[in-house]
Each structure stands twice: as C-alpha cells, then as structure tokens.
Amino acid sequence: MKLMKKVLLIALGVLTLAGCSNEKKATKEPTKNTTEKTELKAKTKKEYVSYLTAIDKSKVHSENSEFSMLINVENPKELAEDNTNIFIARVVSLDKAEVRPNSQGNTFPNTVGKLEILKNLKGKATGMVEFARFGGIIEEKERYKNDFPEAIEKANELRAKEGKGPVEESNELVEMKKSGDIYLTAGEVYLFYANWDSEWKKYTLNGFEYGALKLEDEQQPIDEVKMGEDEIGKTWEVKNEGTGQQENLDGYLEKIGVVVKEK
C-alpha cells in the first residue's frame, strides 16, 4: 500500500500540473480531409459494448483517489473555459483501460472508447470519434508499463515478500478512479467537456462526474427529433450521476454562455 500511495502521488503531481487533466496537449482538431482519419462505422444499439461487463469485480482491487486540480470542476463556467469542446454524444463503446502512451512515471489508467457526436455546442467535433477519460480497471502489467525502473524494482521487492511474481507479468486487476466519479454507460447520451489531444489522437473527456452529464430526453429523443444547430429539446435535462443533481439543459447552458433555442 505504501508503494501504491507513492505511485498515486506521482500521478497526482502530473495531474496537478496539467490542471483538470492531461488534455493540455490539445491542439488543432482533426478535419474531414485528414489522411490519418480513422474509419469508424456507426453501431446499432445492440452493438454498444463495455469492457467492464466482462470483468468480475470480486477479483478487482479498488483504489479511489482524491485529485488536486487547478480549476473547480464543480463550476460549469470554469469547465467551459478550460475546454475547447462541449458536445452531446452517445457512448458507442468503452473498449479498455490504458495508461497514456509516452508518459513516463504515470500509472493512472484512462478508459478509452468511441463516441458518436450528436450535437456540438462548442468546437467542431463530428461523426464517430475516439475518447479517453480518467479512471478504469487495468491489469497490473499494463499499469506499470510506463513507470520508472526504480519504482518497478521496489514494487517487485514487495511482491516477492508476498510470494508474488514480477509486476511486469501480473494479470491482477486494479481499479483506479477519482472518489465520487462515475463510469460511462455504453449506449447512453451525455453532455461532455473535452479537448482534442493531437498526440494521442483522442478527445480527452474532462471534469469527472461534473463533465459527463447524462442527457434525459425520453419525451424528445435526440435521435428522433430534428433539431437545428442552435436548437435543443425543451424537455431535455442533464443529470450528474455522481451527485444526483438534475436540471433543465437550457438553464444549465445559460451558466456557461451557450445560447440555444428550445424546440
């Protein structure tokens, strides 16, 4: 556990420097003409998938963490100012958890998957896109892939005392996420705050439970009601699944200066 706390402190230090997340590598968003565009086909509802459904939670060691951030994620206005994109999107898949590539010393997993952009409120995201979001369940060997050699050596010393093999070969599952945060549900629609990460080729979803608000649209399903670019359903509401708070979408958007018309 002492090693775990030390590793978490390293991860938290990285997060503190990055603010809300590591998305500050964000630069220009991808365009439709890029040769590197990934061809992602839209999926039907029965094809929405989550890697979490195949995991036996009784075999997972869980670690909830507190984060020190440079912005107040509970404040929608600060979230809006800190992110280049705000959109409503459906979660097509949660593919796996992975540690961000080329981030030495970082052992905090991100859940990665795909989104279908349904409506832009800020930015130019379109179609099917890939995303990364802090937190997830990952094998120990994958989690330590980018760690410092000395940290891996100390981890292996402790594991040897417990009669365990090297961490680089361990299939043990560990869950790491912010205390109070949620997991996205495949097939559901959310209001997201995001930045494009040009190195990772993904949108980083930020703000934890405050930056992934579930859209309640039973009376006016977003897939069935035709809306203009600046129109939203008058019955649409957003819900913070972490706190349980729910409010009208139009009223919420007023807080962040997004002007829309209710239909």
pLDDT value, residue 67: 75
Domain that holds residue 177: 2-25+41-262
Could you tell me the pTM of the whole model? 0.83
pLDDT value, residue 27: 56
Identify whether 104 is part of a domain: yes
Identify whether 80 is part of a domain: yes
Identify whether 51 is part of a domain: yes
Q: Quote the number of domains for the chain.
A: 1
Identify whether 145 is part of a domain: yes
Mean confidence (pLDDT) of the chain: 86
- Between 65 and 262, name the one with better pLDDT: 262
Residue 22 has pLDDT above 50, yes or no: no
CA–CA separation, 125 and 117 (whole Å): 7
Identify whether 217 is part of a domain: yes
Task: Give me the phi and psi of 105, to 5 degrees please.
Answer: 90, -15
Q: What is the pLDDT of residues 120-167, one digit of tens each?
A: 999 999 999 999 999 999 999 999 999 999 999 999 999 999 999 999
2: exposed, middle or buried (Cβ count in 10 Å: 0-12, 13-18, 19+) = exposed
CA–CA separation, 116 and 75 (whole Å): 26
pLDDT value, residue 102: 85
Identify whether 31 is part of a domain: no
Identify whether 30 is part of a domain: no
pLDDT value, residue 42: 46
